Each structure stands twice: as C-alpha cells, then as structure tokens.
Amino acid sequence: MLTNAPLIAPPPLAPGQILAIAAPAGPVSPERLRLGLTHLNAFRLAMRPDIERKAGYLAGDDQLRIDEFNAYLRDPDVRAIMMARGGYGLMRILPHLDEAAFRADPKPIIGFSDGTALHAWVMACGYQAIHGPVVTQLGGLDAASVNRLLQVMTTPEAAPPIALQEAQADASGIVVGGNLSLLCHLMGTPWQVAMAERLVFLEDVGEAPYRIDRMLTQLSLAGALHACYGLVAGDFTRCGDNASDDDGRAANALLRAAAAAAATPFACGLPVGHGQRNQAFYVGARGEIRVDKRQLAFVTG
C-alpha cells in the first residue's frame, strides 16, 4: 500500500533511447498498434515479434506476459516501458513482477486503464509512473495529448498544468488514482492505493451510473475517500444512462456527491481517459488544484 513516503520520479527517456512496448493485459489490435507506433519514432523500439498474440481475452498466458515485462525491467538498455493496450489481465501478474530489478534500475512505466494496477505496483516500490496513453490509443488522440505525452516522457521537469472544467477549492497533495474499477478491485490487496491526504483522480469507460455509484460507495464504506484532499473527475466515456452518452454528467454528479459526503473539494473536467484526449502526467507527483486558474498544476519537491 502506498505510504506517505515521498515518491521518486524515474529518469526520463531521451530521444534515441530504447522504449519497450509490452502487452501485459489484453490482446493488441495490429492496425491500431501500427498507427500508434508512428508517433513514437523519436525512440528506438523494443517489441516482441508476437506482440499481437491472443489467448482469449488476454495477450498470451500469464507466464508469457510475466516473462515479457520482467525482461524489460531487467534490461539495462530499456529506458522506459509503455503498454501496448489496456484491457484485462494486469492484476493477475502483479505478484510475479521483479520488484528488485525495478528498484535497482527504475524507468518510466507508461499506460492507463488496466495500467492503474501497474501504477499501483510502481508506487508501492516508491516511484512515480506516467498516467498516459497506451500505444493503441495514440492514433485516435488529439495532437495536444500526443505532444504532451512525448514531453512528459522526455523531460525531468514537472509536467505542465492541466486545465479543469471546474474546481471548488484550492488543494494540494500527491496525485493518485486512475481507473475507478481497478482502484476498487485493488482494495484489500498489497497494491491498494492509499487515498488519504492525497488528490484522487478517477476515470472509467462503459460503466452505467448505478455501477459507478456502487464503486464509489465501496470506496466510501472502506474509508478510502474520507481523508483525501480532493476528488477530481476525469473522463467517464460512455458512462451515461445510455451507451452513447459521453458528456460525463451522470458520473460527475455521482463524484460530486461522493466528495460532499467525504467533506473534500471536488473538481471535474480533467482531460484523461478513454476518449479522444488523454493528457499525461506522473501519478505519485505532487499536485495543486488552483481555483483562480482552474487547473491542476504539478510541482517538484
């Protein structure tokens, strides 16, 4: 479980260094993979030739995915690891990832969605991770999200501020969170994400309002939200009362109510998630919600 110890930012990736592309969760669409890779030509890419493999709803059996990821963690020439896609399956391999190798040679781990579990593993090791696009998402994103990812991956400085739609109050703390479903499923495991005294952001896709309500209620009953410094809503894509509802109003209303019940400030409009925008930043970094500028800013130290 994440403690109050400061989290360390791994060394950034430099152009020309090796970026490994891993498939530790769901199977990868070949067309979307190829389109996404065109945005990563500033780096040398390491990728298994069978990355498009499929075993039902997984990108290969557990041992294959464990071996693939651990090989990149152990390879000193690999300077960052990016998820090819999310999906399902990362929680299955968490106990088998090589913590010693990562601690000895930390490197940026990039992804989101099911990658929330991977980020929880990284933070439990004491390091920050990049919440940002997976490769198969890159081809469908706006240019601002692609450019920001490349900037965050390659600079040691704090990520630029991100605009919010609404913010109720100034707040600051270490930024944690990610996919609501994964955060709930991590409860009670060694990688449960501590939310007390932190800024918590949430996003999800394809969840009906009653399921979002149920997950927020679980976090509330577990006491996870009651001491957090702020609750920030990202994109809740296709999470309305019908499958085509992408505006997030239903989810925002539920998160707003959860924040009020926890007596913590609420903010919304963080451009992260499964839509056409997904702006990268380091989870585990220190952030500030600034009402006057209506933004989430990131600070060093």
Give the integer Cα–Cα distance in Å for 191 and 22. Answer: 21
Q: What are phi and psi of 244, to 5 degrees?
A: -95, 0
- Measured from the Cβ of residue 74, the count of other Cβ atoms closer than 10 Å reads 14
Q: Where are the alpha helices (DSSP H) in 155-208?
A: 180-185
Give the integer Cα–Cα distance in Å for 280 and 151. Answer: 9
- The answer for 87, left when phi > 0, alpha when psi is -120 to 50, beta otherwise, is left
Given the DSSP bridges, would you call strands 166-167 and 266-268 parallel, antiparallel or unpaired? antiparallel
Residue 245 has pLDDT above 60, yes or no: no
Q: What are phi and psi of 93, to 5 degrees?
A: -105, -5
Please enumerate in sequence order all residues whose Cβ is within 8 A of that of 6, keeping only pairs 6 or more positions apart, or say none: none
Nearest to 140 by CA among 265, 14, 253, 38: 38
Contact 69/24 with Cβ under 8 angstroms?
yes
Q: What does the pLDDT look like over 248-279, one tens digit per residue?
A: 899 999 999 999 999 999 999 999 999 999 99
Least confident of 75-79, 115-119, 242-246, 265-269: 242-246
| Mean pLDDT, all residues of the chain | 95
Q: What does the pLDDT look like over 71-98, one tens digit per residue?
A: 999 999 999 999 999 999 999 999 999 9
Residue 243 has pLDDT above 60, yes or no: no
Q: Residue 140: pLDDT band by 50, 70, 90 thresholds?
A: very high
Contact 297/161 with Cβ under 8 angstroms?
yes
Q: Does the model's pTM come out above 0.85?
A: yes
Could you say which DSSP state residue 95 is in? G
Which pLDDT belongs to residue 241? 78
Q: What does the pLDDT look like over 146-193, one tens digit per residue?
A: 999 999 999 999 999 999 999 999 999 999 999 999 999 999 999 999
Contact 198/173 with Cβ under 8 angstroms?
yes
Which pLDDT belongs to residue 58? 98
SS3 of 182, please? Answer: helix
